[in-house]
Each structure stands twice: as C-alpha cells, then as structure tokens.
Amino acid sequence: MKTALLFGSTGLVGGHVLNQLIQNDNYSKIKIFVRSSIELNDPKIEIIQTDFKNLENHREDIKGDDCFFCIGTTKKNSPDKNEYKRVELELPKQVAQIAKSNLVNSFVFVSSGYADPKSSGDYLKFKGLVEEELKRLNFSKLGIMRPSFLLGNRQEKRVGEKIGIFVFKLLSPLFLGPLKKMKPIHSATVAKAMIKIANENLEKTIFESDEIVELTSS
C-alpha cells in the first residue's frame, strides 16, 4: 500500500485527484498539504497545514511514494509579480527537489498546453521551466500533464475562461490532427490520468490534452 502526497487538493484538478485517491485501493495514506485547516473525515487522509514560504520546515512531511502537484494561480489572484513567480515557478520546483531528495518515486505535475521555457508570457514560460527542472531531477516516474481548457466546477469565477471554453467547445469538431490537443478536457479526466501514470509503467512523460484522454480510455 502506498502513500500519496497531494499539493492543491482544493483546486479544480486536485479535488478530483483527492476523491479518486480515496477510492483507490493502492493507497493507504493521502497526505494533503494545505495553507489553512480544513475539515475532511476520511481515515486515509492526513492534513498537513503548510507554510508554503518555508517548505524546508516540512521536509519530513514530504515523504511518500507518489507526489501529485496541482497548485496554480492567476495574475488576478496573485497580482504581485514576485508572488506569481513564487507560486507558479519556485514552489513546484522546491517541492519536487525535496520530494526527490526524500526518494519519492513518482512526480506528476499539472502543466499547460504550449508550455515553453522560452515563451514571452510568464504563465507558459514558468510552466516550461518547471518541466525542465522535473526532467533534470530524473524521477523514476514522471508525468507532465498539458491540458487544454479545463472543464469542471471552479470555486472561483473566471469570466474570460468561461467564454474561451464556450468558444472552444463550439469549435471542437474542427480540431483535427495536431489541433486535437486544443479540445477542452474535463478536470476529472486529468486526475484519472495522473493516478494511472503513477501506478503503471509508461514510456511517455509528457501528455498533451488529447493524449490524456486517450490514456484514460485505454
């Protein structure tokens, strides 16, 4: 029986990862790292109230078998450039580095379609830079998820994203060949693929949106 480490359990993808891990018999413990105390009553769950600005204090907590990283922010929620960079770039890199030093077997990261360390935009650039660091760390198993627009019920309202999803849904039948990776994808599908990657021996490490769908349907 395995121990899962989950960062971002209250988010769109992370919430589904948590629910699916609870139902998964491969895991006897799920450590969730959260900023503030939350009420969750399940014998598998260990809630770790985390100071994300001092992760070294939690080095002993970041021990287990599979680490799932689903934390992300927006420019709206983190208008300060330094804070945005800390959450999107420095935080996932530091969690991965500690996990690797603690011999965590697998690391599965929610990146983004078109992530690129040379991108002119911070969001895609930071995702790309995290991907590069994860490859360098050489985990036994690595999963990099590059979903398109995520479908699901967010706690926060993102008007621009809702419009984008509506338009992309309408255009989805036209997304053929290389454009298939632009189709919107349900957050529960991403979560299912993340857990599958951690529990199977797959040759791939980077999964575009359409490949995530294929992975969960096989």
Which residues, at least 6 apart from 7, have a Cβ–Cβ distance to it below 8 Å? 14, 33, 67, 68, 69, 70, 71, 95
List pLDDT tens digits, range 30-86: 999 998 877 788 899 999 999 999 999 999 999 999 999 999 887 777 778 899 999
Identify the CA nearest to 17 among candidates 50, 66, 90.
66
CATH assignment, 2-217 = 3.40.50.720
pTM of the predicted structure, to 2 decimals: 0.88
Count of beta carbons in the 10 Å neighbourhood of residue 72:
22
Question: How far, in Å, CA of 78 to CA of 164, rounded?
Answer: 21
Domain range summary for the chain, segments of one domain joined by +: 2-217
Question: 32: helix, coil or strand?
Answer: strand
